[in-house]
């Protein structure tokens, strides 16, 4: 029923299900990434629709956090090129504003109108509240109970209508409101990813959730490999903007220095374009001058090498050419993953999904990575010579706090008088 063609005795079915290729798990790990601000969102939409050119930016393999943000930004770009009606159909209770990415249905549009039709621009009630300067505008507690008084709203009862139409100069400033770091890399989304509970509605409850986009992994992995795949999210993805990729504290000003607190014991972490994930690249073994000849790809050589490769390596190897794919899938048949191939067709003027067959391939799961802690000496040396670390020297005279409070800590009589005062107060 699910693609496994093995014929077994009934008493051995339980043992086979542990390693069955059709016994798969769809990863439901979710993470969130927000756009920097509304001005960045409007400009990003203009770039996506082709009204403004996209800036080409260079980055190195060590900029893991930038690569991760660019991957999510490209997914948002694909969503913005889809019809708004198609995106609205894919919303749910937990993502009522922005649908879950990547989209299940893409309907890319070639022609766009230079009109921003986002929900936040269509919320007339919110615009009216901002013009009236309502005391509960932007406060979630006040919206729930308007009669409940807060200290932060006292004195904010002004209801004068103020002309908030921005000028042309202020519009240009809003367009460049992104920090220098984001402009250098062409980023319109936050460098750091957020991990909000999947069952928490990402709607208009808080101001900072309005530009939030939710992503789902959706990888199909073997049931026996799910633990290693979970470690990828827990030990690698969540460390990209923390320990695996440490930036200079002045990175917002444009400093591109990057280091790491945690590194693999052997090799490095890099992004694999084919797999679409971050992988551990081990250190290649040095070859002597006599071993520079290509390795013979005989059947014996395949049988000796393939047992030491994980599923991600087998998937990359099978994508080299058709001969490698046929050889690897035949020799490592038990390590493949079988999934149903769903095809969308039009039937009776409606879109329906039908089962077109089964797909057999390898998963993108790597074996677990061993990490080591790296000292922070490299970051300390950089801060001493960082060009963005501008030291401000103040020439004002120092203030003696003891004399300013009327106590001279160098005089025993003054200290005795102070202690007596404290004793009487106690």
Q: Domain map of the chain by residue range?
A: 36-213
Task: Please determine, for residue 350, whether its predicted confidence score (pLDDT) is greater than 60.
Answer: yes
Cβ neighbours for 238, distance < 8 A, ≥ 6 positions apart = 193, 195
User: Can you tell me the mean pLDDT for 12-27?
Assistant: 84
DSSP state of 362: -
Cβ neighbours for 41, distance < 8 A, ≥ 6 positions apart = 35, 118, 188, 211
With beta carbons less than 8 A apart as the criterion, state whether 301 and 308 touch: no
Split at pLDDT 50, 70, 90, the class of 155 is very low
More confidently predicted of 99 and 425: 99
Q: According to the model, what pLDDT value does residue 30 have?
A: 93
Task: State the pTM of this model.
Answer: 0.74
User: Can you tell me the mean pLDDT for 48-54?
Assistant: 82
Look at strands 262-264 and 268-272 and give their pairing: unpaired
**Which of 75-84, 155-164, 171-180 ranks highest by mean pLDDT?**
75-84
Q: According to the model, what pLDDT value does residue 153 have?
A: 47
Split at pLDDT 50, 70, 90, the class of 211 is confident
Q: According to the model, what pLDDT value does residue 199 have?
A: 87
- Residue ranges of alpha helices (H) inside 344-385 are 377-385
Per the listing, tokens 């709607």 go with 203
* 331's tokens: 């020799």
- DSSP H or E stretch at residue 91: none
Rounded-to-integer distance, Cα 278 and Cα 247, Å:
19
More confidently predicted of 296 and 236: 236
Cβ neighbours for 148, distance < 8 A, ≥ 6 positions apart = 141, 142
More confidently predicted of 148 and 11: 11
More confidently predicted of 152 and 44: 44
């Amino acid at each position: 029923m699910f693609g496994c063609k093995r014929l077994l005795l009934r008493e051995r079915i339980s043992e086979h299900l542990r390693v069955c290729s059709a016994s798969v798990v769809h990863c439901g790990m979710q993470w969130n990434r927000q756009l920097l601000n509304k001005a960045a969102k409007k400009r990003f939409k203009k770039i996506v629709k082709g009204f403004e050119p996209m800036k080409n930016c260079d980055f190195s393999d060590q900029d893991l956090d930038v690569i991760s943000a660019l991957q999510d930004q490209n997914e948002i770009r694909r969503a913005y090129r889809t019809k708004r009606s198609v995106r609205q159909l894919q919303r749910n209770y937990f993502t009522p504003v922005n649908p879950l990415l990547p989209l299940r249905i893409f309907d890319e549009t070639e022609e766009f109108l230079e009109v921003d039709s986002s929900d936040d621009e269509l919320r007339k009630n919110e615009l009216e509240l901002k013009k009236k300067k309502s005391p509960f505008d932007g406060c979630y507690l006040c919206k729930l109970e308007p009669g409940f008084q807060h200290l932060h709203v006292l004195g904010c009862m002004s209801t004068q209508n103020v002309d908030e139409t921005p000028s042309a100069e202020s519009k240009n400033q809003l367009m460049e409101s992104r920090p220098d770091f984001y402009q250098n890399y062409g980023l319109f989304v936050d460098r750091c990813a957020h991990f909000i509970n999947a069952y928490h509605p990402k709607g208009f409850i808080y101001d900072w959730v309005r530009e939030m986009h939710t992503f789902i992994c959706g990888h199909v992995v073997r049931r026996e490999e799910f633990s290693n795949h979970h470690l990828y999210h827990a030990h690698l993805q969540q460390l990209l903007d923390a320990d695996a990729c440490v930036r200079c504290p002045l990175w917002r000003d444009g400093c591109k220095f990057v280091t790491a607190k945690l590194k693999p014991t052997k090799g490095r972490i890099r992004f694999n374009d084919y797999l679409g994930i971050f992988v551990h690249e081990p250190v290649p073994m040095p070859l002597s001058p006599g071993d520079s000849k290509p390795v013979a790809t005989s059947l014996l050589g395949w049988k000796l090498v393939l047992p030491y490769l994980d599923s991600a390596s087998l998937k990359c190897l099978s994508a080299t050419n058709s001969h490698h794919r046929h050889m690897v899938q035949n020799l490592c048949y038990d390590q493949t993953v079988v999934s149903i191939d769903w095809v969308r067709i039009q039937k009776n003027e409606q879109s329906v999904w039908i089962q077109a067959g089964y797909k057999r391939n390898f998963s993108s799961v790597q074996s677990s990575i061993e990490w080591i802690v790296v000292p922070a000496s490299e970051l300390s040396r950089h801060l001493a010579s960082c060009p963005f670390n501008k030291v401000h020297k103040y020439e004002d005279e120092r203030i003696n706090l003891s004399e300013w409070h009327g106590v001279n800590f160098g005089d025993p009589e003054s200290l005795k008088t102070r202690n007596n005062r404290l004793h009487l107060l106690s």
